[in-house]
Structure 1
């Protein structure tokens, strides 16, 4: 089970904190990219389940 799409922002904030960043003030591009890449691996629930849909965590 993944993160509901409505909670995706909170999940990204958590990923940023886990990478030593303050979500309100990103100051390290490299760490922000690592956090974002980690967030992209999180399964997002509640999106269009169609196989040809482009709805994913990146869009969220």
Structure 2
């Protein structure tokens, strides 16, 4: 989620990563770390374990 917020600030609002870092009270290096090491949004949502998908069976259709 933090990575997404950083990208929104950069892409949508036109802030440089240095400006984003300054606004958040972080270093530019930390912003770079977050951008490169944060898990993709899907991984953050589903976690790292197996995902079970259940589809109901429609009888008589």
Same fold (TM over 0.5): no
Q: Which protein is richer in helix relative to its size?
A: 2
Higher share in strand: 1
TM-score by length of 1: 0.31
Q: TM-score, normalised by structure 2?
A: 0.30
Larger Rg: 2
Q: Quick one: higher RCO (CA 8 Å, sep 6+), 1 or 2?
A: 1
